Amino acid sequence: MTGIAYTGVPSAEELRACPGIPTPERRKKGRVAVIECVQEIPCNPCAAACPFHAISIPGEITALPRLDGELCTGCGRCVALCPGLAITLVDETYGEEEGAVDFPYEFLPLPAEGDTVDAVGRDGRTLCAARVVSVRRPEANDGTRVIRIAVPKRFLDDVKSIRRLARKEEEDAWTTK
Amino acid sequence: MKKLRTEVAVVGGGPAGLSAAAEAARAGAKVLLIDENKRLGGQLVKQIHKFFGSEAHHAGVRGYQIARRLLRDVEDAGVTVASNALAYGLFPEKELGVVWDGKHCQVSAERIVLAAGAKENYLAFPGSTLPGVMGAGAAQTMANINRVLPGRRIVMLGSGNVGLIVSYQLMQAGADVVAVVEGADHIGGYGVHAAKLRRAGVPFYLSHTVKRASGDGALARVEIVQVGKNWQSIPGTELTLEADTLCLAAGLNPMTELAWMAGCAFLYLPAFGGHVPAHDAKMETTVPGVYVAGDITGVEEASTAMEEGRMAGLSAAESLGYGAGAALDAERAAIQRRLDDLRAGERGAIRRESKARQTAAAADQRQGGGAT
pTM for the whole structure: 0.90
For position B371, what pLDDT does the model report?
Answer: 45
Q: Which residues of chain A lie closer than 8 angstroms to B187, CB-CB?
A: 4-6, 8
Q: Higher confidence at residue A139 or residue B122?
A: B122
At B80-102, the pLDDT tens digits run 999 999 999 999 999 999 999 99
d(CA B116, CA B139): 21
> Which residues, including other chains, have CB under 8 Å from residue B336's CB and lie 6 or more apart?
B281, B311
Distances (CA, A) of A3 to A62, B8, B159, B194, B229: 18, 49, 15, 12, 20
Half-sphere exposure in the Cβ direction for A100 (13 Å, CA):
20
Q: Is the pLDDT of residue B289 over 50?
A: yes
Strands B274-277 and B245-248: unpaired
Q: How far apart are the CA of B200 and the nearest CA of chain A, in angstroms?
A: 5
Q: Does B205 reach chain A within 8 Å, measured CB to CB?
A: no
Q: What phi and psi, each to the nearest 5 degrees, are found at residue B198?
A: -60, -45
For position A162, what pLDDT does the model report?
Answer: 98
What strands lie across the sheet with A116-120, from one edge to the other? Answer: A32-35, A87-91, A98-105, A145-152, A126-136, A116-120, A161-162
Inter-chain residue contact A45 with B201, CB threshold 8 Å:
no
Counting every residue written for chain A, the total comes to 177
At B222-246, the pLDDT tens digits run 999 999 988 899 999 999 999 999 9
For position B369, what pLDDT does the model report?
Answer: 55
Q: How far apart are the CA of B66 and the nearest CA of chain A, in angstroms?
A: 13
Q: Is the pLDDT of residue B177 over 50?
A: yes
d(CA B262, CA B285): 10
For position A175, what pLDDT does the model report?
Answer: 46
For position A1, what pLDDT does the model report?
Answer: 80
Mean pLDDT of each 10-residue bin along chain A, 177 residues long: 94 96 97 96 90 93 94 95 95 97 96 97 98 89 91 97 84 48
Q: Which residues of chain A lie closer than 8 angstroms to B52, CB-CB?
A: 41-43, 83-84
Inter-chain residue contact A43 with B150, CB threshold 8 Å:
no
For position A173, what pLDDT does the model report?
Answer: 52
Q: How far apart are the CA of B89 and the nearest CA of chain A, in angstroms?
A: 36
Q: Higher confidence at residue B284 or residue A141?
A: B284
For residue B77, name the pLDDT band (cuts at 50, 70, 90). very high
Inter-chain residue contact A83 with B172, CB threshold 8 Å:
no
Q: Which amino acid is at A73?
A: T
Reduced to 3 states, what is the DSSP secondary structure of residue A65? coil
Inter-chain residue contact A39 with B51, CB threshold 8 Å:
no
The b/e string for B22-45 (b: 16+ C-beta within 10 A; e otherwise) is bbbbbbebbbbbbbbeeebbbbbb
Q: Does B324 reach chain A within 8 Å, measured CB to CB?
A: no
d(CA A76, CA A101): 11
For position A171, what pLDDT does the model report?
Answer: 52
Contact B243, B215 (CB under 8 A): no
At A128-158, the pLDDT tens digits run 999 999 999 877 778 889 999 999 999 999 9
Which positions 72-131 of B are in contact with A (Cβ < 8 Å)? Answer: none
For position B28, what pLDDT does the model report?
Answer: 97
Please name which of A51, A113, A38, A108 lies closest in space to residue A81, comparing C-alpha atoms: A51
What integer best gives the mean pLDDT of chain B?
A: 95
For position A61, what pLDDT does the model report?
Answer: 84
Name the residue facing A4 among B49, B195, B244 (closest C-beta): B195
> Which residues, including other chains, have CB under 8 Å from residue B296's CB and lie 6 or more apart?
B12, B16, B114, B115, B116, B117, B118, B254, B255, B256, B259, B276, B277
For position B53, what pLDDT does the model report?
Answer: 76
Inter-chain residue contact B348 with A42, CB threshold 8 Å:
yes
Ordered alpha helix ranges (H), chain B? 15-27, 63-76, 136-144, 161-172, 191-199, 257-262, 302-319, 325-342, 345-366
For residue B198, name the pLDDT band (cuts at 50, 70, 90). very high
**Could you please report the per-residue DSSP string of B155-206?**
EEE--SHHHHHHHHHHHHTT-EEEEEEESSSS--S-HHHHHHHHHTT--EEE
